[in-house]
Structure 1
Amino acid sequence: MKGLLTLIVGTVIIAFAIFLAVITGDYGPWYFAWLVGTTMIVLISAAGAAMFDHQDEELDQKGISSR
């Protein structure tokens, strides 16, 4: 049953991707690059914020004022 559900969901996703490819036509690669680039910017920003927060906590634990 789980395999059948996975197959149906996969088929729907593939059909939707093909539909979007037909609709976007020649602009498909541009939209793909835009989506991937936007996602990467958000993920890199979140990682930078997490690293900054971790470094700030380490400085607070050591008693060093970073300001």
Structure 2
Amino acid sequence: MKTQFITDDHGKKLAVILPIKEYNKMVDDLEELEDIRLYDAAKKGKQEFIDADKAFEEIEENRGKKLK
């Protein structure tokens, strides 16, 4: 990874510059790790199975609340 650093007058690193392609890959990787973390947390929680029609009904109800 080719990086460049922005430093202060004393050589202390303040920021980093990296190619946009590498930045985008890093963001994608972090998002995937977050998805995995959320999946693992959901698997540990209490699981309740509901009928598909009921699930769609709840989704539509919540969608309406978010729009208001």
Shorter-chain TM-score range: 0.3 to 0.5
TM-score (norm 2): 0.44
More helix by share: 1
Greater relative contact order (Cα < 8 A, sep 6+)? 2
